[in-house]
Amino acid sequence: MTTHRARSGRVTIHDLAREAGVSVSTVSKALNDNGRMAAETRARIKRIAAEIGFRPNALARGLLSSRSFTIGLLTNDTYGRFTLPVMAGISEALVDHGVSVFLCAIEDDPALGKIHVDAMLDKQVDGIIATGKRIDRSLPVDLAGLPVPVVYAFTAGAPESVTFTADDAQGAALATVWLKKVGRRRLVHITGPEDFVSVRERASAFAKEAGEDAPVHYGVWSESWGHQAIADLWSAGERLPDGIFCGNDQIARGVIDALRERGVKVPDDVSVIGFDNWEILAEQTRPPLTTVDMNLKELGREAGLMVLALAEGRAAEPGLRKLPCKLVVRQSCGGTQID
């Protein structure tokens, strides 16, 4: 057994070539199934490579191919509620292709954003995915004119860019139809701030399904707003709702707590449905929350595959792609089957 380690401590193709008694070019061709070569030689080289644990240096490879098999993920969603599933999807989609992901949290800070973008470019990322908390705000960093493709997920993209988001209207319709399906007729929508595009899209889909006169109450994205909204409705007292579609799970949680405090049974008296399927919240609510899932992981997958495609030079039609939401049935609406 001869020694085969270079000074760097990592096994290089030269060590392998020496060990196998061939040239580095032969080794390279053997391992990449390129070139002409005796099958026996190829097999022997591969065997020895496995034995001594040779793994090609991706830096060297990337230098030559001008592909780094690396993409950058830019996010300002510090808390990560939306970003995390998206990230998981991206990572899952790309790991099979040998692509790694740089995580760059920019916390709404333009200076930090620039630093991260520069660092990514220096490191020759093959592409960038920008992701955020809402589809109608863009990240505080200029991604136009970069030498690599950029895909936007859950954040506003540049004109002529590829952008992915959830189909808010379809999700809201899903929720509203479900409330009707479990027999509810007096529906209300308690949701977030009206300046969110998502809020408006969901509200108008709700109106379409529930009737134009079905009340919509705008507020903020908090439990206490849900609580407050119920207090307001019940103190007004006229034509109390029997089905409540909430703009997110936190609001739904507040709504359910407020109903319980008033002795209103969920789902016996009133059905409540949320939005986001923030599992740790939705599952712990009593009763567990039926809610709309935006399929963020799938959205991440698609974004990952898209940036990969663009990096490989395949063209893609620019524009906003809305991915369908799905219903997650738990117990806060009654009903059991998913369709």
Partner DNA sequence: AAATCATGAGAAAACGTTTTCTCATATTGA
Partner DNA sequence: TCAATATGAGAAAACGTTTTCTCATGATTT
Query: Which residues make up the interface to a second copy (CB under 8 A)?
Result: 8-10, 55-60, 62-63, 66, 68-70, 73, 78-81, 84, 87-88, 91, 95, 98, 100-105, 107, 112, 115-116, 118-124, 147, 222-224, 227, 250, 257, 260-261, 279-280, 284, 286
Q: Which two tokens stand for residue 104?
A: 């760059």
Does position 207 interact with DNA (CB under 7 A)? The reply is no
Does position 119 interact with DNA (CB under 7 A)? The reply is no
Q: Could you give the CA distance from residue 171 to residue 202 in angstroms, rounded to a whole number?
A: 7
Question: Closest Cα to residue 31, out of 43, 15, 23?
Answer: 43
Assess contact for 325 and 175: CB atoms under 8 A. Answer: no
Phi, psi of 290 (to 5 degrees): -75, 135
β 326-328/290-293 pair status: antiparallel
Does position 161 interact with DNA (CB under 7 A)? The reply is no
Residue type, 19: E
Q: How far is the CB of 8 from DNA (least distance, A)?
A: 4
Q: How far is the CB of 122 from DNA (least distance, A)?
A: 9
Assess contact for 204 and 170: CB atoms under 8 A. Answer: no
Give the number of other CB atoms < 10 A from CB of residue 56. Answer: 16
Q: Which does 234 bind (CB under 5 to 8 A by kind): a second copy, DNA, none?
A: none
Does position 23 interact with DNA (CB under 7 A)? The reply is yes
Q: How far is the CB of 156 from a second copy (least distance, A)?
A: 23
Q: How far is the CB of 7 from DNA (least distance, A)?
A: 7
- Which of 16/307 has CB closer to DNA? 16
**Which H or E run contains 42?**
helix 39-52
Does position 13 interact with DNA (CB under 7 A)? The reply is yes
Per-position x/- string for 42-71, each x denoting binding to DNA as judged by CB under 7 A, each - no binding: ------------xxxx--xx-xxxx-----
Cα of first residue to Cα of last residue in the chain, in angstroms, is 64
- Which of 147/237 has CB closer to a second copy? 147
- Which of 28/41 has CB closer to a second copy? 28
Q: Which does 12 bind (CB under 5 to 8 A by kind): a second copy, DNA, none?
A: DNA
- Which of 42/227 has CB closer to a second copy? 227
Assess contact for 123 and 114: CB atoms under 8 A. Answer: no
What's the angle, vertex CA 334, arms to CA 331 and CA 336, rounded to 5?
80
Q: Which two tokens stand for residue 98?
A: 């040998």
Cα atoms in the Cβ-side hemisphere of radius 13 Å centred on 123: 18
- Which of 148/216 has CB closer to a second copy? 148
Assess contact for 4 and 19: CB atoms under 8 A. Answer: yes
- Which of 18/326 has CB closer to DNA? 18
86 by DSSP, 3-state: which?
A: helix
Binding segment for DNA (CB under 7 A), chosen from 3-11, 104-112, 168-176, 234-242, is 3-11
Q: Which does 116 bind (CB under 5 to 8 A by kind): DNA, a second copy, none?
A: a second copy
Peptide bond into 267 cis (omega under 30): yes
- Which of 27/229 has CB closer to DNA? 27
Q: How far is the CB of 267 from DNA (least distance, A)?
A: 59
Peptide bond into 287 cis (omega under 30): yes
Q: What is the DSSP letter of 156?
A: P
Applying CB under 7 A, which residues contact DNA?
6, 8, 10-14, 21-29, 31-32, 34-39, 41, 54-57, 60-61, 63-66
